[in-house]
């Protein structure tokens, strides 16, 4: 048995007698980066996002800097947090900064660090699900306002910040309901900033439109038969012909991208996501039977420059015609036009005075904007644009690989801090704009 030296025993007895304790390490001071890490550690990934903890954290941060807070519910257990910084002239349309609370799932085994640990490496990389999409801007909004208030800046226009649920699953119970609510109308929003994407280069990306997501399910019927028979009009033959037609269309669109004639976001993407057919027998499929039904699913993304009616016509007449015993279900995920029938696009020229102020504010912070883009995917911005409100997608992340929804999503601490400074410039300029 090990017996400690008598000097150690005596020292321990003295500590006990005097009530003294061995020196404990000092807790890490709270900083913008540690607050970012705290938010990242809240598990807001689907299918069971912890919205309550996320809202509690953000609300406490907002109240600590004197912002008004309101929690709204448009669906059970799906809170929407709304923050307000009153401006000196409430008659002017307000500024809205939007971020979503939820994130996509993560596969821990595929990550270098646990996806909800917010692990920070010695070189400053913060690994976490949501680091780029889009918990970064959620905290940067607050940190920028914290700094502006600390410098005694007072906005002319009222500034609102919204944290919405369910963006990653379509926004139906989040931004979609918020944008048509009485509470939203009362805000008198004149301009919105929503999320964007990282850029591996040294320019900030900015998005003036999103592609509209559609889900297409094509079902085929046909004569069943023995696996050895060759005959016309089988379900699999009908479905495969449909898949081949759609594949040729996809290739033609992709060729435009490969040739440099269009960006990914400027073409119609058509991607097969599942196939379902066959007759289950025992532990597998009956390989000597041709099924009477077959089904395939496709994800379609349509840029706002394309008339959606033409795509619907193509589906009905070419991709899933009744003449080939095909039926289809089309699920349109969100709006493609505003209430005036116009494409959901925000002007990025002198016709939009907000654009000029925004561009100058980014430059004043030492940043440079890349050519404005259509976002290849989809965000809650489309619900704001549907209301006719100018809306830009913007997440100030330069020199950063695009890792949203990917394994090992990360954001470097210095990039995060630089983004706060950019938002300070942008928020102060937009909220001071009197035009």
**Assigned domain for 405 exists:** yes
| Alpha carbon distance 392, 384 (integer Å) | 10
Average pLDDT over residues 130-151: 98
* Same-domain status, 249 and 387: no
Q: Per the domain annotation, does 300 fall within a domain?
A: yes
Q: Are residues 312 and 364 in the same domain?
A: no
pLDDT, residue 71, reads 98
The predicted structure's pLDDT at residue 229: 86
Please tell me the predicted confidence (pLDDT) of residue 9. Answer: 45
What's the pTM value of the predicted model, to 2 decimals?
A: 0.88
Q: What pLDDT does 223 receive?
A: 86
- Same domain for 193 and 252, yes or no, is no
Tell me if residue 195 is catalytic.
Answer: no
Domain harbouring 354, CATH code: 3.40.630.10
Task: Tell me, yes or no, whether 102 lies in a domain.
Answer: yes
Question: Assign residue 400 a region: left if phi > 0, alpha if psi is -120 to 50, beta otherwise?
Answer: beta
Q: Please indicate, yes or no, whether residues 186 and 60 belong to a single structural domain of this protein.
A: yes
Q: Tell me which of 102, 133, 221, 266 is the catalytic residue.
A: 102
**Assigned domain for 359 exists:** yes
What is the CATH number for 277?
3.30.70.360
Residue 305 covered by a domain: yes
pLDDT in tens, 121-131: 999 999 999 99
Residues 69 and 122 in one domain: yes
260: confidence class by pLDDT, cuts 50, 70, 90: very high
Q: What is the number of domains present in the chain? A: 2
Name the pLDDT band for 285 (thresholds 50, 70, 90).
Answer: confident
Residues 238 and 288 in one domain: yes
- What's the domain range around 162? 32-206+348-432
- Selected catalytic residue, list 143, 167, 194, 413: 167
- Please tell me whether residues 122 and 270 are part of one structural domain: no
Same structural domain for residues 73 and 180? yes
Domain boundary residue, one of 332, 360, 386: 332
Quick one: average pLDDT of 244-251? 97
| 317: pLDDT strictly greater than 50 | yes
Do 199 and 231 lie in one domain? The reply is no
Q: Are residues 145 and 270 in the same domain?
A: no
pLDDT digits 0-9 by tens, 168-194: 999 999 999 999 999 999 999 999 999
Task: Specify the pLDDT at position 2.
Answer: 44
Whether residues 193 and 143 share a domain: the answer is: yes
pLDDT of residue 403 exceeding 70: yes
pLDDT of residue 1: 44
Read off the pLDDT of each residue in 255-262 and give the average, rounded to a whole number. 96
Final residue of a structural domain among 269, 300, 332: 332
Both 223 and 201 in one domain: the answer is no
Residue 43's pLDDT is: 98
Average pLDDT over residues 53-58: 98
pLDDT at 225: 85
Is the residue at 178 inside a domain? yes
Question: Is the confidence at residue 13, as pLDDT, over 80?
Answer: no
Residue 65 CA to its chain's centroid (Å): 26
Q: Which of 306, 332, 358 delimits the end of a domain? A: 332
User: Mean of the pLDDT values across residues 316-320?
Assistant: 97
Catalytic site includes residue 424: no
Q: Is the residue at 13 inside a domain?
A: no
Q: Is residue 153 in some structural domain?
A: yes
């Amino acid at each position: 048995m090990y017996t400690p030296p008598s000097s150690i025993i005596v020292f321990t007895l003295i500590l006990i007698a005097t009530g003294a304790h061995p020196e404990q390490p000092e807790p890490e001071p709270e900083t913008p980066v540690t607050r970012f890490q705290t938010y990242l550690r809240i598990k807001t990934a689907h299918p069971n996002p912890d919205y309550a903890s996320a809202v509690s954290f953000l609300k406490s941060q907002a109240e600590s800097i004197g912002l008004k807070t309101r929690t709204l519910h448009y669906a059970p257990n799906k809170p929407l947090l709304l923050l307000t910084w009153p401006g000196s002239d409430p008659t002017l349309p307000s500024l809205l900064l939007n971020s979503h609370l939820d994130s996509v799932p993560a596969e821990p085994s595929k990550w270098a660090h646990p996806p909800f640990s917010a692990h920070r490496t010695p070189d400053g990389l913060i690994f976490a699900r949501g680091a780029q999409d889009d918990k970064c801007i959620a905290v940067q909004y607050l940190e920028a306002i914290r700094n502006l208030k600390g410098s005694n800046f007072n906005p002319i226009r009222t500034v609102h910040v919204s944290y919405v649920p369910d963006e990653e699953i379509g926004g139906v119970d989040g931004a979609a309901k918020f944008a048509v609510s009485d509470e939203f109308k009362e805000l008198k929003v004149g301009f919105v900033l929503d999320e964007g994407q990282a850029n591996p280069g040294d320019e900030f990306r900015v998005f003036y439109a999103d592609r509209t997501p559609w889900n297409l399910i094509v079902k085929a019927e046909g004569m069943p038969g023995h696996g050895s028979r060759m005959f016309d009009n089988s379900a699999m033959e009908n479905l495969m012909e449909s898949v081949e037609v759609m594949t040729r269309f996809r290739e033609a669109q992709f060729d435009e991208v490969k040739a440099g004639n269009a960006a990914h976001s400027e073409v119609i993407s058509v991607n097969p996501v599942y196939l379902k057919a066959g007759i289950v027998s025992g532990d597998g499929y009956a390989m000597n039977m041709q099924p009477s039904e077959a089904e395939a699913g496709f994800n379609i993304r349509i840029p706002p420059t394309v008339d959606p009616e033409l795509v619907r016509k193509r589906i009905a007449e070419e991709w899933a015609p009744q003449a080939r015993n095909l039926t289809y279900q089309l699920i349109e995920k969100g709006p493609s036009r505003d209430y005036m029938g116009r494409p959901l696009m925000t002007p990025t020229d002198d016709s939009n005075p907000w654009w000029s102020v925004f561009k100058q504010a980014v430059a004043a912070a030492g940043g440079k904007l890349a050519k404005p883009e259509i976002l290849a995917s989809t965000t809650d911005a489309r619900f704001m644009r549907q209301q006719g409100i100018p809306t830009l997608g913007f997440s100030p992340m330069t020199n950063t690989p695009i890792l949203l929804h990917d394994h090992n999503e990360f954001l470097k601490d210095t990039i995060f801090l630089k983004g706060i400074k950019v938002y300070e410039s942008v928020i102060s300029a937009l909220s001071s704009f009197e035009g």
